[in-house]
Structure 1
Amino acid sequence: MVLSIGQIIYVILLVINAIAILNEERFLARIGMSSHPEPGYGDVTSFKSKIINLISAVRTLMRIPLIVLNILVIIYEILLG
């Protein structure tokens, strides 16, 4: 099975969409990945803190670009699907 460039772009877009829609109160806090520090949470170089920062950055910085990319993909699929 060979993946084309278009399929890889779709996968990346879907993963970024999945990260962007994670709800902090309902999901992330339940698994201990909330951006609000817990007592004793001081290691900013840990893998967990880097993942929390990545999720937070995707949720804030990629919101508008994701809307535009999703609209473009939908239009592409409707026209050339």
Structure 2
Amino acid sequence: MALFGLIQAAVLFSNAMAVLHEERFLAQSKIGWGVDQSIGGFGEDPGIKAQLVNLVRSVRTVMRVPLIAVNSVCVVLLLLFG
């Protein structure tokens, strides 16, 4: 059951990132994690903050529909096997 626990933790973490609302949470937080309008030059690596915001935005865009199926499978497995 340890493998299922790790999978369940990853699904819960993905759910947490998928439900973050960019305007309400990220832009209005005390640390100001909104969309950064400054664009770096060509070949410059974005900072950690920009990479994390892009990760959250990507998870919200790409994983929203597949998470519905994964959550359904997890719920059924938990109902069947406890």
Q: Do they superpose with TM above 0.5?
A: yes
Measure how far apart 1:26 and its partner are: 1.3
1:20 maps to 18
CA RMSD of aligned residues (A): 1.6
- Number of residues paired by the alignment? 76
- TM normalised by structure 1 equals 0.83
1:4 and 2:5 are equivalent in the alignment:
no
Q: Deviations over 1:15-41 (max 9, x none)?
A: 11001001112111112222x334xx3
For structure 2, which runs of at least 5 residues remain unmatched after alignment?
none
| 2:23 aligned partner, one-letter code | E
After TM superposition, the runs of 4+ consecutive aligned structure 1 residues lying more than 3 A away are: none
* Identity level (%): 36
* Cα distance in 1 for residues equivalent to 2:4 and 2:61: 26
1:74 and 2:75 are equivalent in the alignment:
yes
- TM normalised by structure 2 equals 0.82
For structure 1, which runs of at least 5 residues remain unmatched after alignment?
none
Match of 1:42 among 22, 39, 56: 39
